[in-house]
Amino acid sequence: MSEISMQEKLSAIVKNALDSMNGAQTLDALNDIRVNVLGKKGELTAVLKGMKDVAPEDRPKVGQMVNEARDTIEKTLETVKTKLESEKLERQLAEEIIDVTLPARKVEVGHRHPNTIALEEVERIFIGMGYEVVEGPEVEYDLYNFEKLNIPANHPAKDEQDTFYVTKDIVLRTQTSPCQAREMEKGRLPIRMLSPGRVFRSDEVDATHSPSFHQVEGLVVDKNITFADLKGTLAQFAKELFGPETKTKFRPHHFPFTEPSAEMDVSCFKCGGKGCRFCKGSGWIEILGCGMVHPHVFEMCGIDPDEYTGFAFGVGLERIALLKYEIDDMRLLYENDYRFLKQF
């Protein structure tokens, strides 16, 4: 091929390339053009490959022309590329607007139910005294719920705790006290346990009753445990739960599985004991049942009552939550009304 026609051919390639590059609308289109001209199978590359057909004396000149053509094309390529890139950025900046002045979307963080808050508070106090938290089944044998707690068939105490019978021998537990029997039967002594959970009774729903509620059971078994240990422990619990000024009072009571038994009252944390609407004028609020583990219960659970003594207590969890938050209707705790629950 002669030098002249080579010159024409190169000019045509360059002109064509410049025209199409200047007309390219996108970076992709520009890249396609680059490949078509400068790529392995590109037009200019084809010319270079044809150098072998050029007369040796013309080669330096032709080589120079090819290089110039390449330079021109590459320069334009860069210019157009820069232009298209900045256009693309401009477009993105215009389209992808973030209005930093818009108020952030509020994330609603869930939180604990008042019952759970009360339970964790009770657990914290007793874990601090070295108690271990254990749980028992909600569907329980009559044997554990009644029999091993010294409540034999036909005992009047069974009447007060009427419940739902799955079969003659299996009930929905009426109290967390069966966890005492289960723990003692394991035979690992001494015991310092706390057992929270749901209990059931066939009670009508009203402001202070529900067929399903929660209790927290406590049990301590060791050598030389006395009623003084019971009083000291529960008085300390009351102080931690209701404040350091809280006084406690133990009234004699009856529970079949403890002897002696008591109910513990705390001085009203609202009026300090003077008497108010909250404590119904008495200055005291009933808070839990307790007592020394009955020797017969020990025997039925395989513990020697001559060697070991212990105390137990049972707290109504809802009662604690209602008192703590001054809620006067237990039903509110179960209705799952968000407006109520989010206050705590």
**258 is an interface residue for ligand DAH by CB under 6 A:** yes
**265 is an interface residue for ligand DAH by CB under 6 A:** no
Q: Which two tokens stand for residue 158?
A: 């069974």
**289 is an interface residue for ligand DAH by CB under 6 A:** yes
Q: Which is nearer to ligand DAH, 163 or 175 (CB)?
A: 175
User: In sequence order, what are the beta bridge partners of 249?
Assistant: 265
| Distance of closest approach, residue 105 Cβ to ligand DAH, in angstroms | 47
Give the separation between CA 308 and CA 299, rounded to whole angstroms: 11
Choose which of 115, 148, 313, 317 interacts with ligand DAH (CB under 6 A): 313
| Distance of closest approach, residue 165 Cβ to ligand DAH, in angstroms | 18
Q: Which is nearer to ligand DAH, 279 or 292 (CB)?
A: 292
Report which secondary-structure segment, H or E, holds 312. strand 309-316
Place of tokens 């931690």: 240
Give the separation between CA 197 and CA 290, rounded to whole angstroms: 17
Q: Which is nearer to ligand DAH, 47 or 191 (CB)?
A: 191
Choose which of 115, 163, 177, 195 interacts with ligand DAH (CB under 6 A): 177
Give the separation between CA 159 and CA 152, rounded to whole angstroms: 11
| Distance of closest approach, residue 169 Cβ to ligand DAH, in angstroms | 20
Give the separation between CA 275 and CA 254, rounded to whole angstroms: 27
| Distance of closest approach, residue 271 Cβ to ligand DAH, in angstroms | 27
**210 is an interface residue for ligand DAH by CB under 6 A:** no
| Distance of closest approach, residue 217 Cβ to ligand DAH, in angstroms | 5
Choose which of 43, 217, 265, 318 interacts with ligand DAH (CB under 6 A): 217
> Which 80-139 positions form the footprint of ligand DAH (CB under 6 A)?
none
Cis bond upstream, residue 178 (ω within 30): no
Q: Which is nearer to ligand DAH, 13 or 297 (CB)?
A: 297
Rg (CA), the chain: 43
CB 291 within 8 Å of CB 258: yes
**146 is an interface residue for ligand DAH by CB under 6 A:** no
* Contact map string, positions 1 to 40, toward ligand DAH, x by CB under 6 A: ----------------------------------------
**163 is an interface residue for ligand DAH by CB under 6 A:** no
Three-state SS for 281? coil
Output phi, psi for 219, to 5 deg: -150, 135
Q: Which stretch binds ligand DAH (CB under 6 A): 18-26, 33-41, 268-276, 312-320?
A: 312-320
| Distance of closest approach, residue 272 Cβ to ligand DAH, in angstroms | 27
Output phi, psi for 269, to 5 deg: -80, -5
Choose which of 84, 181, 290, 300 interacts with ligand DAH (CB under 6 A): 290
Instruction: Name residue 306's amino acid.
Output: D
Which residue is nearest to ligand DAH, using beta carbons?
314
**283 is an interface residue for ligand DAH by CB under 6 A:** no
Q: Which two tokens stand for residue 89?
A: 């950025």
Q: Which is nearer to ligand DAH, 84 or 255 (CB)?
A: 255
Q: Which two tokens stand for residue 215?
A: 């209790």
CB 174 within 8 Å of CB 161: yes
Identify the burial level of 117 via C-beta atoms within 10 angstroms of its C-beta, where 0-12 means exposed, 13-18 middle and 19 or more buried: middle
